[in-house]
Amino acid sequence: MARHNGRGWHGRVLAAALGVTAVATAASVWTAQADPSGGGDAAGRPAASAAGTPGVRGGGAAKVAVTIAHASDRGERGVNITIDDGPDPTWTPQVLQVLREYGVKATFCMVGPQAKAHPDLVKAVVAAGHRLCDHTVSHDTAMDHKSEAYQSQQILDAERMITEASGGVRPMYYRAPGGAFTPYSRSLAAAHGMRPLGWNVDSKDFERPGAAAIVATVKQEIANGPTVLFHDAGGDRSQTVAALREVLPWLKQQGYSFGFPVR
């Protein structure tokens, strides 16, 4: 999600730091263009066997690029729907229902404790053919100013929580809260088979401006690139659900197809 004052709605979660103590890494510059190769084939699959692929039960880390992905595995007319901050017992099922109605697969960027609290929803996301993304433990939008040990704890603890909640399916991407990537966090995520994931279009649904405003934002900004940011947690997401019901068929009418971010 975009930055929303401090640590976001999840607040700070205290945990033991992993790795050696290091000084805070400076905030990284947002990568303007994704690496179109993504370390995978034309369908966005990494060049590795299923036994070593995140997103496959029991898989290990596959080789992925460290650059921040924005492109779609469906090419220039592809769109990546990404859903952040859940899962949530009220809104995630409704989002899943809308996606099912329109035959759309999405990438769900989950916060570790949310996944741990709702493993049934994580499993439902996987069973429906969607992909998982690590969105840290505490949703700390200032983590790019924290130590490498802190960043490691946030990323790897969330990865473990999501993987356990899913029944063994690992996240394929890592999205820093508020885009707070660092060179260290990108490298760490990639080393664990999670491609850093950005966005091109912030629907602003988190601010609840009304479904019509959310739809208008997506329509106006989709020319900026294929990866669109929505949310299924963090408050009342009824406007998001309503907006998706209008945005998804409109995108199809414009000749877009739905895919996943490149890996």
Query: One-letter amino acid identity for 33?
Result: Q
Task: State the alpha helices, DSSP H only, in 128-210.
Answer: 148-166, 183-191
* pLDDT score of 23: 28
- pTM across the whole model: 0.81
CB 183 within 8 A of CB 25: yes
Question: What pLDDT does 109 receive?
Answer: 98
d(CA 192, CA 35): 18
Secondary structure element (H or E) that encloses residue 245, with its range: helix 238-253
**pLDDT for position 57:** 60
Residue 84 a catalytic site member: yes
- Residue 107: phi, psi to the nearest 5? -110, 120
145 carries an active-site annotation: no
- The identity of residue 144, as a single letter, is D
**pLDDT, mean of each 10-residue run, the chain (263 residues):** 43 34 30 32 32 53 92 96 98 98 98 98 98 98 98 98 98 97 98 98 98 98 98 97 98 98 96
Amino acid 41: pLDDT: 31
What pLDDT score was predicted for residue 55? 64
Question: What's the gap between Cα 144 and its chain centre?
Answer: 17
**pLDDT reported for residue 59:** 55
Does the bond joining 87 to the residue before it have cis omega, within 30 degrees of 0? Answer: yes
Segment (H or E) for 133: strand 131-134
Confidence at residue 7, expressed as pLDDT on a 0 to 100 scale: 35
> Amino acid identity, residue 68?
I
- Active-site residue (options: 73, 84, 140, 202): 84
